[in-house]
Amino acid sequence: MYWDCFSPYIDVQRRNRLAGLDAELIRPDGKKVLGTYMFTLDWSWENKGIPDLNFSETPEHKCAHLFKVETGNFYAYPNNRIIWYDNSWVFNRIDENPGYEIDTTVYS
């Protein structure tokens, strides 16, 4: 897992659009493993009286998609570390990063 929990309040959901899809998960060491989507963990607010605007308690919002991988282990991954397999999305897969960069700038 790339990060710790953004909040102790978690919503669990199985997203129908992703149910059963396979994906390549990019590990921190750059290696890829194949996994099957199971469900998503999304962090929420403690106070149910406050409208849930899909923001976590920290300034950045990420959810964790859980996968069962080929080895039998379970991985929790953010969107930007997943390459989904869905024939309705992509026909010609890319073999390497075409130059995309992750923005790690911290603004204050």
The secondary structure of residue 86, as a DSSP letter, is -
**Amino acid 94: pLDDT:** 74
At residue 32, the 3 state secondary structure works out as strand
Q: What is the pLDDT of residues 44-72, one digit of tens each?
A: 666 666 666 665 555 566 789 999 999 99
The CA distance from 68 to 88, in Å, is 22
Q: Give Cβ neighbours of residue 40 (< 8 Å, ≥ 6 apart).
A: 12, 13, 14, 15, 18, 63, 64, 65, 66
**Amino acid 59: pLDDT:** 56
Per-residue buried b or exposed e for 20-39, using 16+ beta carbons within 10 Å of the residue's own CB: ebebbbbeeeeeebebebbe
Q: What is the pLDDT of residues 66-105, one digit of tens each?
A: 999 999 999 999 888 998 888 777 667 777 888 888 888 8
The CA distance from 67 to 25, in Å, is 9
**Amino acid 28: pLDDT:** 87
Domain boundaries, the chain: 10-73
pLDDT (mean) for 5-28: 85
**Amino acid 69: pLDDT:** 95
22 pLDDT above the threshold of 80 = yes
